[in-house]
Amino acid sequence: MNNKRIGTLGEELAGIMLQEKGYKILAKNFRCRYGEIDIIASKNGVLAFVEVKTRLFESCGNGAESVTAVKRQRIRRCALCYMAICRRYYEAVDFQVIEINAAHLERLEF
């Protein structure tokens, strides 16, 4: 399985987790000239911009640590771009990182 497919599966799992927590998924893989945001969701008037990091092995490092200052700046710029396009009011904006670490999964049923 290649890295792209692993990332896609992690994003799908993160989307399911967010929905189970009451979030409404507004967009996936939103792209603009500044970059990409994996998931954009909302819950109770809060707009959430979510970066998903999927790791197969603990030796690959911590997913959240890989969201550098440069990546955070790109996400903020993309968020501004999205908000300019959607033109909806939200009480607050939230930035999240969801880490999927397959090394901790014991069993996944379909």
**89 found inside a domain:** yes
**110 found inside a domain:** no
Q: What CATH number is attached to the domain comprising 48?
A: 3.40.1350.10
What is the span of the domain harbouring residue 56? 3-104
**24 found inside a domain:** yes
pLDDT digits (tens, 9 = 90+) for 90-109: 889 999 998 888 765 444 44
What's the number of domains the chain is made of? Answer: 1
Of 15-29, 45-59, 72-86, which gets the smallest average pLDDT? 45-59
**57 found inside a domain:** yes
Average pLDDT value over all residues in the chain: 84
Are β-strands 46-55 and 92-101 bridged in parallel, bridged antiparallel, or unpaired? parallel
Q: Enter the tokens of residue 42.
A: 């909302």
Q: Is the pLDDT of residue 15 over 90?
A: yes
Query: Angle at Cα 81 formed by Cα 76 and Cα 82, nearest 5°?
Result: 95
Least Cα distance to 26 among 82, 72, 75 occurs for 82
CA 105 to chain centre: 19
